Amino acid sequence: MEEMYEMGYFVREEKNRFICTVDVWGENIECYIPSSCKLGNFLKLAGKKVILRKNLATDARTKYAVFAVKYKYNYIVLNTSEANKVIFDSLGRRLFAYMGKRSNPQKEIVVDGYKTDIYLPGEDTIIEVKSIISLDKQAIFPTVYSERAINQLKKIRELLQGGKKVTYLFVSLNPYVESLAISNEKQMDEFRDLFLDCLESGMECKGYTTCLNNYEIQIKKEIPFIISNS
């Protein structure tokens, strides 16, 4: 597995939000950032040690993609899609026994008009996964207004009221986050109200942190989920 990875030091994010420059053995190399937003909004990356993962696609613009950044004694994974993968790969663990039957999980299938992250056919349960990158001990979600997230909650509420089971999972990619909370900022009121409606309609919610072990992202532990961060 190690041959898939390289170490470097982050230099800067470029104007193209998916491109950055990394110092690899003294050479500045253009690398891909698998994130839809500027990571500089959340993290100070300049000069930080990073793990790069080789791009296997033959038509890839860059040789490497930035995978994780060194933080304290571990790493923060920067590829937010890894949250879905680690949940899917960990469903067999006792940590998720509360979900019931977890055999034959399915990824990204449409159930009653809703595109799921993960679906458990044995329990008829929809799993929605939200990744979080934060340096705070208590990570807040959401940090920006998202029409998509609001529309998702409206559909989830409809599914819950129709008898579907939904589990909403927050996954911190920083292993040192201690708790998770829904934002109480004014611009997040609609999200917050819908989220509370979904909880009252039976939606289950859990929070987890992850860590990196031998280049593999793993669930570290469950952490408290708090409705109010005031």
Residue 187 reports pLDDT greater than 50: yes
- CATH 3.40.1350.60 segments of the chain: 82-226
- CATH 2.40.50.580 segments of the chain: 2-76
Residue range 24-45: average pLDDT?
86
Q: What CATH class does 2-76 carry?
A: mainly beta
The whole-angstrom distance between residue 195's C-alpha and the CA centroid of its chain comes to 18
Provide CATH code, domain 82-226.
3.40.1350.60
Look at the pTM and tell me if it is higher than 0.85. Answer: yes
pLDDT in tens, 75-97: 999 999 999 999 999 999 999 99
pLDDT at residue 182, as a whole number: 94
pLDDT, averaged across the chain: 93
pLDDT in tens, 37-50: 777 777 889 999 99
